[in-house]
Amino acid sequence: THRRVPPLDLSAVSVLTNEAERRWAHHGAAVANLSTRTVTSDGDRTANNATSNSASTTNPTNSSTTLTVKKIVYGADGLPIDPRDWTRANVWTWLINLAQSEGLDISPELAQKFPMNGKALCLMSLDMYLSRVPIGGKMLYRDFRVRLARAMSL
């Protein structure tokens, strides 16, 4: 038989923004900012290969990839402005805040229907929202898409 993993119970998760900021600051900015990489253009890569092939000793680690710092900007609601940066706790906060403001039923089951981070929400279609939350799924989908569009236009 095919068994499903039980949904994640997030009812005991603390989603205080100060706590999240404290954790990031505690672990150091360098660790938190290693998630974004920039690769040089193909022309630069070809030029690097040409010079390294003509040199008598070749350095196997050329600097074709460099790390850049990505600063997460928070909005007035305490969530990162770019939903792609949301953690599971941020998704839960967003669900609770939106449910409160729109008069939806707030329960631990609501968070259990979205056990994912912001990048996973980006992959969800309207039908996927509606299958999880028949009443309110369209509103959740629209709000998320508006936030994502705003973040991408910055």
Q: Which segments of the chain belong to CATH 1.10.150.50?
A: 81-153
Domain 81-153: CATH class, spelled out = mainly alpha
Q: pLDDT tens across 98-151, in order?
A: 999 998 888 888 889 999 999 999 999 999 999 999 999 999 999 999 999 999
Q: pLDDT tens across 9-36, in order?
A: 656 655 555 555 555 554 444 443 443 3
Alpha helices in 55-153 (DSSP H): 88-102, 108-112, 118-122, 126-132, 137-153
The answer to whether 129 and 123 are in contact (CB under 8 A) is no
pTM of the model: 0.56
Instruction: Please calculate the CA angle 115-88-105 and round it to the nearest 5 degrees.
Output: 65
Q: pLDDT tens across 55-111, in order?
A: 444 445 555 667 777 788 999 999 999 999 999 999 999 999 999 999 888 888 888
Which residues contact residue 85 at a Cβ distance below 8 angstroms, ignoring those fewer than 6 apart?
Answer: 72, 118
130, 134, 135, 95: which is closest to 112 by C-alpha? Answer: 95
CA 126/CA 139 separation, integer angstroms: 10
What confidence score (pLDDT) does residue 151 get?
94
What confidence score (pLDDT) does residue 61 get?
53
CA 24/CA 35 separation, integer angstroms: 13
What confidence score (pLDDT) does residue 133 get?
93
